[in-house]
Structure 1
């Protein structure tokens, strides 16, 4: 990620290389970053924030980060033949995840919905409001809207409410299990 791209989304944040401040990351996120190719991992930055401002709209307003450069990650669940299926879905904050059509079809389930908060937190090892596609269980697909991948730099959760990651959008398309899924964000 270029420094210009990072600065454009950072607003008043002071990001540093994420691998230098793993104390700001949930453990599964730190492990995931350590497992990325070095050229991808070094482009990932982290910035400390007020945890009361972790929700996207409050974060963008408080730190001057553009909403169109924020991406939200939600955990979606569905069942088929008694098997519970999950996916991490990443869309720009200016859109909503198409759970009922796009994700439901991709998971091949009758009905898909946002996973209950307690379940999402337990399964990811991350804080609610900080869930990120970095470090989700390896068996889950990471469904990413192509608009996120095309964004030079995006802000995503760090697994904790106390910080945010600033990453190249393309890095999200390179995560293990990542799939670009047209129409995911509406």
Structure 2
């Protein structure tokens, strides 16, 4: 199958509301495309198989939290889809918490305003840190979530460093 790429600013109906709001004020949004997909293909492995995409051509965004002195600290972590997020060592250290774990799905979707399996670094809550693995930035054309399971965003990887609040982290992603 081939992805039909459309300018994302022309199709706000294909992204979650917080994503649309973030894109409308982001100068780099003119370089972002959106493609409608079957929601059953939103998960990385299914998407890559259906669209014959290599595993390193996509990025996943996971939400992690931990506590220190009664304060919850939350970060969205973006790593290439052929890697896994270094939650137990690097993210834990960056958040300065004793234990880091994935934010429960219900909270992640409710607080982000995005669907599970479609959470994206664009349009996240401002109080969340955004950690982006440096290897994502080297991809000329990366596929990420759109906030909805029924579409994907496509953009030059380097643009993820320009998302407001993004922190580029070396080796945030580890080999699977």
Pick the aligned partner of 1:24 from 14, 17, 22.
14
1:162 aligns with 2:150: yes
Q: Which residue of 1 aligns with 2:24?
A: 34
Deviation >3 Å, runs of 4+: none
Q: In structure 1, how many angstroms separate the alpha carbons of the residues matched to 2:68 and 2:110?
A: 21
Instruction: After TM superposition, give the deviation of residue 22 of structure 1 in Å.
Output: 0.5
Q: Which residue of 1 aligns with 2:100?
A: 112
Pick the aligned partner of 1:68 from 56, 59, 63.
56
Relative to structure 2, which stretch is displaced further, 62-71 or 121-130? 62-71
Any residues of structure 2 matched to 1:27-176 within 5 Å, and which?
Answer: 27-37=17-27, 40-176=28-164
Q: In structure 2, how many angstroms separate the alpha carbons of the residues matched to 1:115 and 1:78?
A: 9
Q: In structure 1, how many angstroms separate the alpha carbons of the residues matched to 2:138 and 2:94?
A: 21
Q: How many residues align?
A: 174
Q: In structure 2, how many angstroms separate the alpha carbons of the residues matched to 1:141 and 1:151?
A: 22
Q: In structure 2, how many angstroms separate the alpha carbons of the residues matched to 1:153 and 1:94?
A: 15
Q: Scaled by the length of structure 1, what TM-score is found? A: 0.92
Instruction: After TM superposition, give the deviation of residue 64 of structure 1 in Å.
Output: 1.7
Q: In structure 2, how many angstroms separate the alpha carbons of the residues matched to 1:25 and 1:78?
A: 29
Residues 22-80 of structure 1: CA distance to partner in whole angstroms, max 9, x if unpaired?
A: 0000000011111211xx11110000000011000001101122221000000011111
Any residues of structure 2 matched to 1:6-17 within 5 Å, and which?
Answer: 12-17=2-7
Q: In structure 2, how many angstroms separate the alpha carbons of the residues matched to 1:151 and 1:140?
A: 24
Q: In structure 2, how many angstroms separate the alpha carbons of the residues matched to 1:156 and 1:180?
A: 16
Instruction: After TM superposition, give the deviation of residue 167 of structure 1 in Å.
Output: 1.0
Residues 110-168 of structure 1: CA distance to partner in whole angstroms, max 9, x if unpaired?
A: 11011111110011000000000001111211100000011111000000000000011
Decide which structure has greater strand share. Answer: 2
Q: Scaled by the length of structure 2, what TM-score is found? A: 0.97
**What is the RMSD of the two structures over their aligned residues, measured on CA atoms?**
0.8
Q: In structure 2, how many angstroms separate the alpha carbons of the residues matched to 1:176 and 1:139?
A: 12
